[in-house]
């Protein structure tokens, strides 16, 4: 009996760890930047506002590059999901404060943005 209880506790713990971060409210400060520039050019901030907007208009997804170097992919809370470039276009290339729910999977982070505004 004790072994079944211990096994159940272990299984529940493993399931909780495997679930990972299933959505955590967070505030992130960083730049809204073209995803390709964040990875391929290893930029810490956009070259310019115009550059970030041109890349987004060409179809490259915008991401939030946090001050600590973490990349947050903006995602939609609805299914089917919609791209978030239209929502971020007004702050593309700028430093922002974004609040929302962050999801973590396999080392990748995504955020359902509740509010985004230029950083003060």
Q: What is the reported pTM?
A: 0.80
| Per-residue pLDDT, 43 | 87
The vertex-94 CA angle with 74 and 75, nearest 5°, equals: 5
- Cβ atoms within 10 Å, residue 83: 14
Q: According to the CATH classification, is domain 21-118 in 1.10.287?
A: no
pLDDT higher than 50, residue 6: no
Query: Over 50: is that where the pLDDT of 4 sits?
Result: no
CA distance 101 to 14: 23
pLDDT in tens, 86-119: 999 999 999 999 999 999 999 999 999 999 999 9
Q: For residue range 49-99, what is the model confidence (pLDDT) as tens digits?
A: 999 999 999 999 999 999 999 999 999 999 999 999 999 999 999 999 999
What is the chain's length? 120
Tokens 């506002």 belong to 49
């Amino acid at each position: 009996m004790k072994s079944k209880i211990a096994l159940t506790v272990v299984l529940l713990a493993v399931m909780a760890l495997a679930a990972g971060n299933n959505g955590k409210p967070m505030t992130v400060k960083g730049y809204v930047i073209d995803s390709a520039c964040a990875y391929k050019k290893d930029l810490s901030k956009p070259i310019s506002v115009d550059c970030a907007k041109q890349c987004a208009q060409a179809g490259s997804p915008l991401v939030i590059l946090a001050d600590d170097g973490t990349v947050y992919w903006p995602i939609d809370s609805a299914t089917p999901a919609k791209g978030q470039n239209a929502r971020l276009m007004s702050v593309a290339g700028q430093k922002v404060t974004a609040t929302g729910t962050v999801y973590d999977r396999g080392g990748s982070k995504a955020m359902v943005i509740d509010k985004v505004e230029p950083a003060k």
